[in-house]
Amino acid sequence: MAPRKLSDVIKDLVYKKNLIFIFLLSLVIAVFVFIVTYYIGKKDWFEKLTLVSNEWERTIDHYRDVLDFFADRSKDFENPGTILEVLKLIREHFGDYSAYPIFATPDGNYYIYPLYTFPPDFDPRERPWYKAAAENPDSAVVTPPFTHRILGVVTFGIVRAILDERGNLLGVLGIDIVPSKVMKDLLQPGMYVLSEDGTVLLQNGEIHVKLDPEDFESRDYGAKISVSGVAFFRKTGSTVFVIQVPLLVFLRNSLLHLGYVIGLAFIISFPIVRRVSKLIDRELRVPLEVFSKASKEYLRSRIFDLGGTSSNILEINQLIDEVSDMITIIESQREELEASYEELEASYSELQKMAQEIEEKSRAVEEAYEFFTYKLVDIVEGFDEPTGNHVRRVQELSKFFAEEMGLDEDLVHKIYLYAPLHDIGKIKVPKEILNKKGKLTAEEWEIMKKHTIWGGELLSGRKELEVARNIALYHHESYDGTGYPFGLKDDEIPIEAQIVKIVDVYDALRSERPYKKALSHEEAVRVILEGDGRTSPSNFHPKLIEIFREKHEKIKEIWEKTHGE
């Protein structure tokens, strides 16, 4: 499509499209008002339903409480005299909504008040209300609706099993509720009540919009619309309360508001559109055409001249001034950018060089710490190594456990690097105690235990050695709090120290000492997983125990490989 003049576009927009837009906008507003009015009316009808259903729930709960009260007084149901007194009491106090309270015993006998004799073949034990109570002895049960044998009307039953002190069934106490009595003052014209299967229990007036069970099967409240009207419903337990509203009555206010808005919009919009068209042409089209010519001239010759053009529209004047200022700033910044471009290139090259130097220095520091660690490992291994490659085995097994625990790669590397330093504190233990062949005295053992404290002191003071310090200081702590030096437990102990602990214990069990023989892998597994008096599974983190149980063959493979190196 070829471009059009602004004047033609304005006329087309104002006289054609704008009128359509105003119509559509009015329609949207009218529909919105219609929907709001609809939901206000809908809310009002639901409030009426809620009032009725709440009264019904209150009545049901009231009778539940009555039955629960008598269930706690089981001695009143141990002889016929007191049973009839209870039934009479219920009838006198709660007869407004009920008819014939009944008590049926497990042997088929029954007591009813007012007195009534059922046919000889009547067996209360076969009645659904009796079975429902017997199957749910701990609470009152509301039965489905049924036609009352005496009254001939639809009723509900609320029943409760009565148990003696030993929990044996004495019988079932039942109260029949007559919905027409409960709802006589609440059921408004157009209302009716359904059971869960769709049976009409009560109605006030004719039913024009009939609900089916599938209408309320999956929801507790809603509405059904037909040509006859709208039926709002609310489901309470197994009872559905419905109120019918004629469709024209329900939509009357909404349709009136819809007509008001559409008519008023057309009456007001037409003269306004004409005035807006002239104003836009004078105050918008002419200044924009001058602005467009000046912009083209600027792109051609870098000269921007509006020739004193102005408008009574504040925003148009602001636009002209702001664009003029912006062009002046652009020209100035363009010159500055051109001058500083070479400086930025030089600065970027310098930054790249500095970043490379920082990376190289950081790598050198890290390598220095690793070199320092390896040297400390050599010292530890030479100072106290009666069992071969102990530190090497601890190192490899600690890495295996750390990986199985799912720790991040950096922590796994640090555990692998620093695990061999777990006994670094032993360099401060006197030689005569460290190398003693026999059992240590209590005083010597207290000195020996201090090697954890001394190890922590030796490795403290630098953040880079925090993992090494934790391993040296806490690797004799136990998950159950029975370890030393502080008696920490659970997650108070850093995970790196818990890993080294289980590895250290396993290697100690497998290694020969002057005071004990080496255990086989199977014996060591049994000690760690089952305990032996000195060692208990509760000493270790539960997940480490789980890894040990499931992966002990791999642990054996790693140990034997490093043992032979």
- Ordered mean pLDDT values, 10 residues apiece, the chain (565 residues): 56 61 70 73 79 82 88 88 90 80 92 89 90 91 82 84 91 87 74 82 81 84 82 83 79 65 68 67 68 72 66 67 73 69 66 62 58 62 58 93 95 94 91 84 93 93 91 95 95 96 94 83 94 92 96 94 76
Q: Where are the beta strands (DSSP E) in 140-236?
A: 141-142, 146-147, 154-163, 169-177, 191-195, 200-203, 221-226, 229-236
Helix, strand, or coil here: 505? helix
Give the Cβ contact number of residue 223 at 10 Å.
17
Helical segments of 72-149, H only = 80-94, 128-135
Report which residue type is found at 347: S
Please list the helix, strand and coil fractions of the chain in percent, rounded to the nearest 5, in that order: 60, 10, 25
Cα–Cα dist 225/25, whole Å: 28
Q: Which of 519, 514, 548 is nearest to 532 (CA)?
A: 519
- Per-domain residue ranges of the chain: 59-183, 383-562
Q: Which of 454, 489, 451, 456 is nearest to 470 (CA)?
A: 456
Q: Which of 177, 188, 184, 248 is nearest to 47 (CA)?
A: 188
Query: CATH number of the domain at 383-562, out of 2.40.160.20, 1.10.3210.10, 3.30.565.10, 1.10.3720.10?
Result: 1.10.3210.10
Give pLDDT, residue 425. 92
Give pLDDT, residue 388. 45
Give pLDDT, residue 506. 95
Q: Which of 491, 450, 497, 489 is nearest to 471 (CA)?
A: 497
Cα–Cα dist 542/490, whole Å: 10
| Residue carrying structure tokens 């149980």 | 549
Under 8 Å between Cβ of 177 and 185? no
Give pLDDT, residue 231. 85
110 CB-near residues (< 8 Å, 6+ apart): 102, 103, 104, 118, 122, 124
Give pLDDT, residue 540. 95
383-562 has the same fold as 59-183: no
∠380-383-385 over CA atoms, to 5°? Answer: 85
**336-344: long-range contacts at Cβ-Cβ below 8 A with a sequence spacing of 24 or more?**
none
Query: CATH number of the domain at 59-183, out of 3.30.450.20, 3.30.360.10, 3.30.70.20, 3.30.565.10?
Result: 3.30.450.20
Q: Which two tokens stand for residue 60?
A: 């049901």
